[in-house]
Every structure is written in C-alpha cells, then in structure tokens.
Amino acid sequence: TNCAVPRLELFTGAVPHTFPAVFTADEQQVLMHLHFGPEEAQELEANTRQQALSDKWHSARRHRLTASTFGKVMRRKEWTEKGLRNLLDPKDLSRVRAVQYREKMRLLQQSGMPLQ
C-alpha cells in the first residue's frame, strides 16, 4: 500500500506580502519571521505533522493568530499587556491529563511495549 501524502495545491496562488516601512526594526523582524513563501509553507506543513513533538511547529505558531485563539481576539474590545502576554506566551500543558496520557502512550510506543 502506498501511504504517500498527496501534494496539495494550497499554496500555489500565494502572493508575497510586502510590509510598509512604518514598523520598527524589531517589529519588522517579527513580521519577517512570520512570513512564509509557498515552498516554505509546504515544507513547514510536511515537517510539522507531529505538532507537539516538533520544535518547528512551536516556533511557527509563535506570534501567530491561530484558530484556537481567533475567538478570543474577535471578542476582545481592548487589549492590555497582560491580555497580549496571555494570548502569545506559551502555556505549560504538562499537567493536563490528556497531554500526560499522550506522552505516556508515546513513551510506551517508543519502548516497544504493547499498547493496551
């Protein structure tokens, strides 16, 4: 059985975005880190399918508006520094039971023990 993932044409119509010169150097650096061309986007998608296990995935999500945070952003009328930090700073999920279970299963699978 061939399990190859098909190449999707999601990024072929992408148009490179140019940023206005009104940003500071630090802001420009963050924006350039967020920018991906079509080839880079396809490579990122292919290389980050393990999500939580992928440093690239975590790095790519940093400073991005994601589906899981979009609702918070749309409902918020004003932003405080604490609100922005809460939105952007990484969360420690190691105490979440589902995350603990996933990690336990991953370690069992790596050890070769049968999963029950």
Inter-residue contact 37 to 16 (CB < 8 Å)? yes
φ/ψ of 108, rounded to 5, equals -65, -45
pLDDT of res. 92: 79
Res 116: pLDDT: 63
Domain ranges of the chain: 19-64, 65-116
- Nearest-CA neighbor of 91 among 67, 69, 113? 69
DSSP code of residue 62: T
Among candidate residues 52, 42, 40, 43, the one with its CA nearest the CA of residue 105? 52
The pTM (predicted TM-score) of the whole model is 0.44
Rounded distance, CA 70 to CA 65, Å?
6
Of 109, 69, 101, 106, the closest CA to residue 88 belongs to 69
Q: What is the pLDDT of residues 16-61, one digit of tens each?
A: 667 666 888 888 888 787 777 888 888 888 877 777 677 777 777 7
